[in-house]
């Protein structure tokens, strides 16, 4: 057999290597397959726009030997005097990975030898993905009439696949194929009636896009408490297609949010960050809210007349009513100056920032930082709770500037960083263009909405 001749021709060190691989595969076989859920989704093109920027690659067309034969034969039959020997007709076996399967099980079910599997794994990095299969995934085995594996196909994700085939000398080769991605831009717009979330869904945005939108504007707008009926937004975003099939969302390119009469615009720059039309960054030293808006239940109840009834009348700070355990974020970079407990505040954390600003987080069920820790904006520092003198679970949040309590939602914050020079000039030109288009789309879309 071919494999045997190959093996006997292999130099001793290589045989040792193959032996090693066999031992390794035995280990792989013994290892339980990991639960697939989280990993599986992470292999899909991410919906979160900022994380996933697909490259436009040419479609790698590889017709299998047999389909070339089929296409060509009828046309050239008459002219070819001595046709080349027919390429073997392949029989395909589609084997689906079951929970607990090792690669060797799949090869066994396809009646392909373990030596063949090892020869494929010996291709190295290119076929290593075969050792990390997940339940539900499928391997396609193409066998010739002699039962020898000629081709192996594996869809790594919706865009990428692995092809293993034999070259003219019968040796395995592999190549990664990638489908071409076409990016289209689309608009969405909505006026908020009951909640930002509902408006986002009714405008056709995905959950991730709604969250992305909230984070783009999270330095200017407190989505937990400051959204009102009548607020509106428009979004220009990318959708990715492969062969006319929708495969996922690309980036949000521009967005406009009208909040209580204040209009805020954001345009994505080629650095992947968002800027205002004048080139200043959307990012600021402080987030408006220390809690994600999705946690504030009052904001999601369409039956409530006022989406802010969860708010307790302000004293020295702002109260965010949300379930116990809700993550609490540091609103800005800084250093923890207190992380302790007393009867009044319950579990509490103070953070000292630059510019003589201190932020305070009270009544936590759990503290996740210690005095002296450096924390980053958005970092979870504890969990919402009902400790200390409280009537129910909530976060009491204070924003203190030079020792004076300020309203964190309206206080003038340190100036944001801006683009400079030619970068700024080209951004402003592009931003004007995009925003003009965005506004004309908004008028059309909102006019069409009942
Ligand atoms: Zn309070």
The superfamily CATH assigns to domain 287-415 is: Glucose Permease (Domain IIA) (2.70.70.10)
| Mean pLDDT across 129-137 | 92
Q: Is the pLDDT of residue 423 over 60?
A: yes
Q: Is the pLDDT of residue 233 over 90?
A: yes
Q: Is the pLDDT of residue 122 over 90?
A: yes
Q: Could you tell me the distance, in angstroms and rounded to a whole number, from the CA of residue 377 to the centre of ligand 1?
A: 22
Q: Could you tell me the distance, in angstroms and rounded to a whole number, from the CA of residue 316 to the centre of ligand 1?
A: 7
Q: Where are the alpha helices (DSSP H) in 302-420?
A: none
pLDDT one-digit tens code per residue, 351-397? 999 879 999 999 999 999 999 999 999 999 999 999 999 989 999 99
Q: Is the pLDDT of residue 119 over 90?
A: yes
CA distance 109 to 138: 12
Query: What's the confidence (pLDDT) of residue 316?
Result: 80
CA distance 98 to 133: 10
Q: What is the mean pLDDT of the chain?
A: 80
Q: Could you tell me the distance, in angstroms and rounded to a whole number, from the CA of residue 345 to the centre of ligand 1?
A: 9
> Architecture of domain 88-178 in CATH?
Roll (3.10)
- pLDDT band (50, 70, 90) for residue 137: very high
Nearest to 380 by CA among 342, 338, 325: 325
Q: Could you tell me the distance, in angstroms and rounded to a whole number, from the CA of residue 211 to the centre of ligand 1?
A: 26
Q: Is the pLDDT of residue 237 over 50?
A: yes
Query: What's the confidence (pLDDT) of residue 358?
Result: 96
CB 212 within 8 A of CB 49: yes
- Domain spans in the chain, listed from the N-terminal domain onward: 88-178, 287-415
Query: What per-residue string of b and e applies to 123-149 under the rule 16 or more CB within 10 Å gives b?
Result: eeeebeebeebbbebebbbbbeeeebb
Q: Could you tell me the distance, in angstroms and rounded to a whole number, from the CA of residue 225 to the centre of ligand 1?
A: 14
| Mean pLDDT across 123-136 | 91
pLDDT one-digit tens code per residue, 43-88? 333 333 333 333 333 333 333 333 333 333 333 334 444 455 556 6
- pLDDT band (50, 70, 90) for residue 161: very high
Q: Could you tell me the distance, in angstroms and rounded to a whole number, from the CA of residue 336 to the centre of ligand 1?
A: 20
Q: Could you tell me the distance, in angstroms and rounded to a whole number, from the CA of residue 334 to the centre of ligand 1?
A: 22
Contacts of 182 (CB under 8 A, 6+ apart): 56, 240, 241, 242
3-state class of 234 per DSSP?
A: strand
- pLDDT band (50, 70, 90) for residue 445: confident
Question: Which residues lie at CB < 5 A from ion ligand 1?
Answer: 319, 396
Q: Could you tell me the distance, in angstroms and rounded to a whole number, from the CA of residue 314 to the centre of ligand 1?
A: 7
| Mean pLDDT across 98-117 | 93
| Mean pLDDT across 430-436 | 94
CA distance 52 to 215: 16
Query: What's the confidence (pLDDT) of residue 297?
Result: 59
Q: Is the pLDDT of residue 33 over 50?
A: no
Q: Of residues 443 and 101, which shows the higher confidence score?
A: 101
Instruction: Work out the burial of residue 120: count CB atoms within 10 Å of its CB; fewer than 13 is exposed, 13-18 middle, 19 or more buried.
Output: buried
CB 225 within 8 A of CB 395: no
- pLDDT band (50, 70, 90) for residue 247: confident
CA angle 47/292/352 to nearest 5° reads 120
What pTM did the predictor assign?
0.64
- pLDDT band (50, 70, 90) for residue 439: confident
Q: Could you tell me the distance, in angstroms and rounded to a whole number, from the CA of residue 311 to the centre of ligand 1?
A: 9
| Mean pLDDT across 319-344 | 96
CA distance 263 to 252: 18
Q: Could you tell me the distance, in angstroms and rounded to a whole number, from the CA of residue 309 to the centre of ligand 1?
A: 14
């Amino acid at each position: 057999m071919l494999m045997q001749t190959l093996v006997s021709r292999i130099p001793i060190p290589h045989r040792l290597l193959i032996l090693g691989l066999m031992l390794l595969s035995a280990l792989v076989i013994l290892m339980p397959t990991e639960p697939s859920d989280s990993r599986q989704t992470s292999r899909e093109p991410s919906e979160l726009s900022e994380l996933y920027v697909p490259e436009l690659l040419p479609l790698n067309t590889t017709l299998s030997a047999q389909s070339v034969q089929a296409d060509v034969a009828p046309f050239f039959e008459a002219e070819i005097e001595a046709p080349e020997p027919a390429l073997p007709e392949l029989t395909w076996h589609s084997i689906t990975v079951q929970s607990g399967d090792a690669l060797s099980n799949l090869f066994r079910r396809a009646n392909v030898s373990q030596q063949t599997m090892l020869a494929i794994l010996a291709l190295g990095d290119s076929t290593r993905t075969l050792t990390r299969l997940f339940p539900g995934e499928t391997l396609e085995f193409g066998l010739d009439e002699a039962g020898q594996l000629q081709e192996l196909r594996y869809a790594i994700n919706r865009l990428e696949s692995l092809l293993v085939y034999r070259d003219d000398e019968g040796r395995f080769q592999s190549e990664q194929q990638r489908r071409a991605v076409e990016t289209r831009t689309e608009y969405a717009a909505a006026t908020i009636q009951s909640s930002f979330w509902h408006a986002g869904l009714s405008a056709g945005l995905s959950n991730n896009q709604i969250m992305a939108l909230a984070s783009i504007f999270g330095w200017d707008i407190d989505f937990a408490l400051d959204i009102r009926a009548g607020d509106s937004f428009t979004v220009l975003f990318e959708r990715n297609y492969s062969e006319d099939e929708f495969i996922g969302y690309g980036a949000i390119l521009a967005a406009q949010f009208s909040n209580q009469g204040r209009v805020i615009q954001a345009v994505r720059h080629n650095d992947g960050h968002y800027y205002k039309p004048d080139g200043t960054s959307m990012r600021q030293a402080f987030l408006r809210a220390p809690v994600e808006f999705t946690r504030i239940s009052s904001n999601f109840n369409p039956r409530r007349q006022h989406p802010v009834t969860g708010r307790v009348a302000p004293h020295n700070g702002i109260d965010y009513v949300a379930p116990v355990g809700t993550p609490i974020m540091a609103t800005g970079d800084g250093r923890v100056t207190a992380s302790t407990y007393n009867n009044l505040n319950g579990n509490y954390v103070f953070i000292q920032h630059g510019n003589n600003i201190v932020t305070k987080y009270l009544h936590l069920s759990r503290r996740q930082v210690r005095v002296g820790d450096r924390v980053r904006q958005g970092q979870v520092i504890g969990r919402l709770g009902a400790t200390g003198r409280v009537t129910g679970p909530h976060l009491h949040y204070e924003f203190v500037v030079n020792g004076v309590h300020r309203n964190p939602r309206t206080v003038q914050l340190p100036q944001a960083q801006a683009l400079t020079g030619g970068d700024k000039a080209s951004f402003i030109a592009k931003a004007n263009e995009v925003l003009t288009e965005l506004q004309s789309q908004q008028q059309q879309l909102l006019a069409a909405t009942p």
